[in-house]
Amino acid sequence: MHTARFTLDPAFKVGEVNPRLFGSFVEHLGRCVYTGIFEPDHPTADAEGLRTDVLDLVRELGVTALRYPGGNFVSGYKWEDSVGPAEDRPKRLDLAWHSTESNRFGLSEYIAFLKKVGPQAEPMMAINLGTRGVAEALELQEYANHPSGTALSGQRISHGDKDPFGIRLWCLGNEMDGPWQTGHKTAEEYGRIAAETARAMRQQDPGIELVACGSSGQSMPTFAEWEATVLQETYDLVDYISLHAYYEPHDGDVDSFLASAVDMESFIENVVATCDHVGARVKSKKKINLSFDEWNVWYLSRWEAQAKTFEQDDWPEAPRLLEDNYSVLDSVVFGSLLIALLRHADRVTVACLAQLVNVIAPIMTEPGGPAWRQTTFFPFAQASKYGRGEVLDVRVDSPTYETKKYGEADLLHATAVRAEDGTVTVFAVNRSQTDALPLEVALNGLDLTSVVEHSALADADPDARNTLDDPERVAPHQIEGTTLQDGNLTAVLEPLSWNMIRLS
């Protein structure tokens, strides 16, 4: 087996990692909220009904920005339903997920949840531009952020929230390019309403940051033209454009699935090119950054099959939806997607793992029962903990393999992050299903002398997973024999593995 190689040099860097790269997403969908983060009757629930066993895992996961309340859900959301005394809140049909929304958990509970996660957690609030518009966005902003002295801020105070919520980061709708979206729009229609809403929200507070909807996938027929049209209307008014991408194996093609990050990286680079093209057209010095605010492995085809079985008159509360159980294989692809985000940290400054609990999530729960970590939990927690600092430019010289979807792909996918104290963490995936991959890294101009740890996630059974019955079946293990001598790092990456190598 050939050796994969790259060189690290502090003079060659991509950019600083924004902590918001480790965001996640809480949608009113299935059991993400109810019996996920919120379950008043649960033995671990606190006074506010939040599951403290889940809170502990959320802290361990290391999430930062938490996008809320959707997703497709937001396009029918009436924020007023979700505030005030819980017993007075109306039940509503949720058209997006064919469910009943009790509104028992709402805006105030979301902010309380974030506070309990800790100071690293930040609100990222989506507004409804599907069935609603400028007026409702302004009202929500005033209710949430205005200190006092107006009807809406007074209402918040009377509801028990004296302090404003201080929501800085706002999404202008969700996936408005998608025909499935309630209130789906053309790029021209969306560009106009996004610009009008952004202008008005900035009149209320020029300091907010706004995310315009980009495409809900690179394969959308309107991709790139959508971004160009929307940005032509909104360039000076927004800070970010959103990207969404989900991956799953198709027709058993594991080789292509393992190379999903090839698609993710090209998606990022195409959106950057489009943003900069519009920037040139409107003669602006400003750069639009990327908010990759939904990404994950998602067995979407299973959800599509499940959706076909729904009875029209059945509108359950918090049903089990999108509860994918992730394997080791899934976590290796997932880790590679994380690497793709880090490799573009100069322009991807917000990213949200979709979602946080139960719904295509790193954390699973059982109502009245335990909470546990899926395989995807580990790469995220490690990257969030050690992937802070400056991303170094990594150009791999790697053996390759053939994929049906992406042609020849590198077996090695890698990035490296240099922390403020000079320590470096390498994140690497070996995409080979059969062979270990020897790795050599030349360290130029980095004062590094020892390997702190080489942690790997791999298993003789790539289909191994954590489940309710066996919640600790899969976890990272330490690799012996990784060395650093005279500025050369030498390691062997197990077949189909996610790796974190820390150097000091």
- Active-site positions read 175, 294
Shortest distance in whole angstroms from residue 423 CB to ligand AHR = 35
Residue 334 near residue 258 (C-beta atoms within 8 A): no
User: What's the number of CA atoms in the CB half-sphere (13 Å) around residue 254?
Assistant: 13
Among 294, 330, 459, 494, binds ligand AHR (CB under 6 A): 294
Report if residue 321 touches ligand AHR, rule: CB under 6 A. Answer: no
| Phi–psi pair at 62, nearest 5 degrees | 80, 35
Spell 373-385 as b/e; 16+ CB within 10 A means b: bbbbbbbbbbbbe
Listed in sequence order, the DSSP H helices in 319-434 are: 328-343, 377-386
* Closer to ligand AHR by Cβ: residue 64 or 216: 216
Report if residue 27 touches ligand AHR, rule: CB under 6 A. Answer: yes
* Closer to ligand AHR by Cβ: residue 246 or 257: 246
Shortest distance in whole angstroms from residue 326 CB to ligand AHR = 15
Query: Helix, strand or coil for residue 188?
Result: helix
* Region class of 132: left (phi > 0), else alpha (psi between -120 and 50), else beta: beta
Report if residue 129 touches ligand AHR, rule: CB under 6 A. Answer: no
- Convert 404-461 into a string of H (helix), E (strand) and C (coil): CCCEEEECEEEEEEECCCCCEEEEEEECCCCCCEEEEEEECCCCCCCEEEEEEECCCC
Residue 399 near residue 2 (C-beta atoms within 8 A): yes
User: Which sign, positive or negative, has the C-alpha torsion 225, 231, 234, 239?
Assistant: positive
* Interface of this chain with ligand AHR, residues 359 to 398, rule: CB under 6 A: none
Binding segment (CB under 6 A) for ligand AHR, from list 54-62, 67-75, 220-228, 250-258: 67-75
Among 94, 142, 161, 175, binds ligand AHR (CB under 6 A): 175
* Closer to ligand AHR by Cβ: residue 6 or 79: 79
Alpha-carbon gap, residue 122 to 20, rounded angstroms:
9
**Residue 413 vs residues 87, 328, 395, 404: alpha-carbon distances, Å:** 51, 17, 10, 18
Residue 288 near residue 435 (C-beta atoms within 8 A): no
* Interface of this chain with ligand AHR, residues 210 to 229, rule: CB under 6 A: 216
Shortest distance in whole angstroms from residue 499 CB to ligand AHR = 28
Shortest distance in whole angstroms from residue 358 CB to ligand AHR = 12
Number of residues lying near ligand AHR (CB under 6 A): 10
Among 18, 35, 64, 72, binds ligand AHR (CB under 6 A): 72
Report if residue 191 touches ligand AHR, rule: CB under 6 A. Answer: no
Strand-pair category, 209-212 with 169-172: parallel
Shortest distance in whole angstroms from residue 250 CB to ligand AHR = 18
* Closer to ligand AHR by Cβ: residue 255 or 293: 293
User: What's the number of CA atoms in the CB half-sphere (13 Å) around residue 20?
Assistant: 22
| Phi–psi pair at 237, nearest 5 degrees | -105, -20
Using CB under 6 A as the criterion, what x/- string covers residues 237-276 for binding ligand AHR?
----------------------------------------
Listed in sequence order, the DSSP H helices in 309-406 are: 328-343, 377-386
State the residue number with the nearest CB to ligand AHR: 71
* Closer to ligand AHR by Cβ: residue 127 or 457: 127
Report if residue 94 touches ligand AHR, rule: CB under 6 A. Answer: no
Report if residue 174 touches ligand AHR, rule: CB under 6 A. Answer: yes
Shortest distance in whole angstroms from residue 95 CB to ligand AHR = 12
* Closer to ligand AHR by Cβ: residue 174 or 403: 174
Shortest distance in whole angstroms from residue 105 CB to ligand AHR = 17
Count of Cβ atoms closer than 10 Å to residue 95 Cβ: 15
Report if residue 324 touches ligand AHR, rule: CB under 6 A. Answer: no
Q: What is the H or E stretch that residue 266 is in?
A: helix 260-281
Report if residue 39 touches ligand AHR, rule: CB under 6 A. Answer: no
Report if residue 108 touches ligand AHR, rule: CB under 6 A. Answer: no
Interaction site with ligand AHR (CB under 6 A): 27, 70-72, 174-175, 216, 294, 354-355
